[in-house]
Homo-oligomer: A and B are copies of this chain.
Amino acid sequence: MYPLLTGLRVVECASFIAAPSCALYLRQHGAEVIRIDPIGGGPDFRRWPVSAEGHSYYWEGLNKGKRSIAIDLARPQGRQLAVDLITAAGADGGLFVTNFPRTGFLAHEALARRRADLITVRVAGWRDGEAAVDYTVNAALGLPWLTGPAQTPDVPVNHVLPAWDLLTGAYAAFAALAAERHRLRTGQGQEVTIPLSDVALACLGHTGQIAEVLEHGDRPRHGNALFGAFGRDFVTADGQRVMVVAITRRQWTGLVASLGLQPAVAALEVSLQQSFERDEGLRFTHRDALFPLFERAIGARTLAEASAAFDANDVCWGRYRTLSQGLAGDSRLSLDAELFTHLQHPSGLSYPAPGAMGRFGGVPRLPAARAPRLGEHTDEVLAQVLGLSAARIGELHDAGLVASPAPVPWKDPP
């Protein structure tokens, strides 16, 4: 955690990845985040991956450092408490992150009648407000037809990374600060709506793929080959797999030199009357001529030999590993780095958890904090933010409108 946004108070009422990760980034950069959940947990409270006992690693990963209040959101009195929290006074408050529908009791217009300078950052699925996830957006945008072995028959191949969700979360955090900067100067709040499908579509546009498809039609499947430059997986003499990429001129000349392929590549350039060094695109269009040279050269070297040659020539490459192999065997992925804090989590398990993804040189990095237990800060938030008395808070508990965690034994970290 970096103390950059100190004092800023964010209220989150959300589930899954995009909106919770937006609030997580705000939290990990110094803001206070109060997460409102329904009593018993929202739809992401048991989302996989889970521990052997069914505790969600996902939930406790995405809610680190937040304060948790559990409210019965099905009843009007509970909804009013949520509205009160979202619109509570304070110059640095009034920042609300959600994926709830734009109609209903968390509609921005209704909230803004209580606090005119409210900023609502609302993540949506499709542009029209319908539900969407990465998988359904990707299906509509053609990515599963580009993924997978080139010889794959006519079936789509999903990729497993919730990329748009993650991207939407980071962009939402940026959008929140952009709106908040505007509010600091003008006093004006507003609603920001971020459809997952617009994020995906815009990114395909930003990287040239919309222009490409409008001009050239759909891109075919290229298997494991990088599009538009040199890159593919290769197998070493000892059966290890490596991904090798050469986009820049320096990466290309380094790669060719590392494998002693200058004469073979030069001969190919002479026969084609082209320069691979000058034009990265030629390395792609002539990949069927180039790949066999690299297959043979890498296939003649053990992983140890190839990696030594690659590293001596600043080649951009990576060894294919499983996640557990990567974490254990690659020092650049060590969980002992300052990015991680070893924590005991609500699941009861202890494991390293990542803090802020960037390194800020001007402020100290503070340890990451664990996720709350559901409703852990219910009383504290009601007292501090809404100024409710202990008696009033007790009434809310008695009426079942708010909840705190059951007093299960909680082992403090050693």
Q: Is A265 engaged at the interface, CB distance under 8 Å to the other chain?
A: no
Contacting B at CB under 8 A, from A215-229, are 215-219, 222-224, 226-229
Asked if residues B174 and A170 are in contact (CB atoms below 8 Å), the reply is yes
Q: How far is the CA of A214 from the CA of B353 in the complex (A)?
A: 12
Are A194 and B324 neighbours in the complex by a CB distance under 8 Å?
no
Size of A's binding interface in residues, CB under 8 A: 161
Chain B residues whose C-beta falls within 8 Å of the C-beta of A359 in the assembled complex: 192-194
Chain B residues with CB under 8 Å of A243's CB are 135-136, 138-139, 144, 156, 158
A101 to chain B, nearest CB (A): 11
Residue A160 at the B interface, CB < 8 A? Answer: yes
Is B48's CB under 8 angstroms from A284's CB? yes
**A354: contacting residue among B60, B108, B202, B215, CB under 8 A:** B202
Given known A-B contacts A46-B280, A167-B167, A362 and B191 have beta carbons under 8 A apart = yes
Chain B residue with the shortest CB-CB distance to A157: B148
A414 within 8 Å of B (CB atoms): no
Which of A256-264, A329-337, A378-386 faces chain B? A329-337
Q: Is A61 an interface residue (CB 8 A)?
A: yes
Instruction: Indicate if A242 sits at the interface (CB-CB under 8 A).
Output: yes
- A405 on interface, CB distance cutoff 8 Å: no
Asked, given contacts A136-B243, A173-B174, A330-B140, whether A354 binds B206 with beta carbons under 8 Å apart, the answer is yes
Whether A142 pairs with B323 at a CB distance below 8 angstroms is yes
A137 in contact (CB, < 8 A): yes
**Of residues 95 to 154 in A, which have CB atoms within 8 Å of B's CB atoms?**
108, 125-128, 130-133, 135-149, 152
Q: Which of A223-254 touch B at CB < 8 Å?
A: 223-224, 226-229, 231, 233, 241-243, 245, 247-249, 251
* With A132-B316, A144-B320, A174-B25 as contacts: A327 and B61 at CB distance below 8 Å: no
**Among the listed B163, B201, B213, B335, which residue makes an inter-chain contact with A210, where contact means beta carbons less than 8 Å apart?**
B335
9-residue interface stretch from A79-87, A181-189, A266-274, A391-399: A181-189
Which residues, 19 to 62 on A, are CB-close (under 8 Å) to B? 21, 24-25, 29-30, 43, 46-52, 54, 56-62
Tell me the minimal C-beta distance from A221 to chain B in angstroms. 9
One complex includes copies of this chain to the number of 2
Taking a contact as CB atoms closer than 8 A, the residue among B49, B175, B192, B218 that contacts A322 in the complex is B218
Could you tell me the distance in whole angstroms from the C-beta of A163 to the nearest C-beta in chain B? 4
- Whether a CB of chain B sits under 8 angstroms from the CB of A178 is yes
Cα–Cα distance between A16 and B231 once the two chains are bound (Å): 16
CB of B360 within 8 A of CB of A245, answer: no
Top 3 A-B residue pairs of the complex, sorted by shortest distance between their CB atoms: A48-B228, A190-B362, A57-B208
A-B contact pairs, 27 of them (CB 8 A): A48-B281, A49-B216, A56-B208, A59-B208, A132-B316, A135-B245, A139-B241, A140-B320, A141-B321, A143-B159, A143-B160, A144-B233, A147-B160, A149-B157, A155-B233, A156-B233, A162-B207, A171-B173, A171-B174, A177-B177, A179-B360, A190-B362, A193-B358, A205-B354, A211-B351, A213-B327, A218-B322
